[in-house]
Amino acid sequence: MLNYQRRDALRRALQSARAQRGTTEILAVDNASSDGSVEMVRAEFPDVRLLCLQENIAAAARNAGIATAKGDVVVTIDNDVLLSDADAVERVQDVFARHPRAAVVNFAIVGPDGRLSRRDWCHPRDPEVWGAREFLTDYVLEGASACRRQAFLEVGGYWPPLFIGHEGWDLAFRLLDRGWDLVYTPDVRVRHSVETSARPSSRIYYTFTRNAVWVALRNLPAGAAAASILRDLALMAFAAARAGQLPAWARGVRDAVRGRGQALATRRPLSAATLARRRALRAHRPNLAARIRRHLRERLI
């Protein structure tokens, strides 16, 4: 469980985890919070293993947590995510048993209203049609999934320079290229409260813009990378304009260019076989008109 400056949300998430059957350990990773989160865990949850980092490294803190975890399968949730019931972890194990080549099992995410959260749906399928079915996907939901520890460590985990935003996309590319499967299951449901504290509104428009460029440069062949970058920059410009965050988008473009060297230094384009496999996984993706309608309805935080 990853935490930064959300003591009360963390308390609720830990209570949800503590209620689970089939759990071998609960591990909280704190990103150098200053709001009393660490003291709260020590006082109220002595059974929880606590890993305190000296600085906020955002998503890469999950690397430290998974590396030190004892289990072969590790459930990773954010501190504003609650497991739906006491059998969630046992059902995670069942899904991995059904899919021996699965590196990651993604959970169904519902919003505060109990309905499937379209905002959190990143899979290349229509949620209205596929939300109640299990299928192979091409994405990793960072804060609402479970991974095989071996597979996660094998590909190096989350790439630290991304900080936050698109780290699951980047990880998914590398797992697929190693021949692993990624699974979405409706059998495990979590509730996302969308906690906005410690989340400046401009950040997502900046990091998603910057990271879209870096992830494409790291993972895609030249032509595919160029197409992906142009598409995502246009999409983020549209979203940022709607939210009054075009300056954040512009900073993201600037820093993507400035930092392209570290992305290119770690570049490993997907194999032709992986690209073909990904196209097959995306064959059920909604058409362009449907995607445009979705983006008109949704608004990033």
* Residue 244 in this model has a pLDDT that exceeds 60: yes
List, in order, residues 6 or more apart from 299 with CB less than 8 Å away: 239, 242, 243
| pLDDT tens, residue by residue, 47-67 | 999 999 999 999 999 999 999
The per-residue pLDDT for 286 is 83
In the prediction, which pLDDT does 196 show?
Answer: 57
Max CA pair span of the chain: 54
Q: Topology of 2-192 in CATH? A: Spore Coat Polysaccharide Biosynthesis Protein SpsA; Chain A (3.90.550)
- The domain locations on the chain are 2-192, 203-297
Find out whether 99 and 183 touch, Cβ atoms under 8 Å.
Answer: yes
State percent of the chain over pLDDT 70.
Answer: 94
Indicate the average pLDDT of the chain: 93
Cα separation, 229 vs 211, in Å, equals 10
Do residues 183 and 104 lie in contact, with contact meaning Cβ atoms separated by under 8 Å?
A: yes
At 204, give phi and psi (nearest 5°). -65, -30
Q: Is the four-CA dihedral 245, 250, 255, 260 of positive or negative sign?
A: positive
Contact in structure between 270 and 173 (CB atoms under 8 Å)? yes
The β-bridge partners of 147 are 74, 104
Tens digits of residue pLDDT in 108-167 = 999 988 899 988 999 999 999 999 999 999 999 999 999 999 999 999 999 999 999 999
pLDDT for 195 equals 61
CB atoms within 10 A of CB 174: 23
- Give the model's pLDDT for residue 44: 98
| pLDDT one-digit tens code per residue, 181-237 | 999 999 999 999 876 555 567 899 999 999 999 999 999 999 999 999 999 999 999
Question: For residue 22, what pLDDT band results from cuts at 50, 70 and 90?
Answer: confident
Give DSSP secondary structure letters for 192-223.
Answer: E----TT--TTHHHHHHHHHHHHHHHHHS-HH
Quote the pLDDT of residue 5.
Answer: 95
pLDDT over threshold 70, residue 27: yes
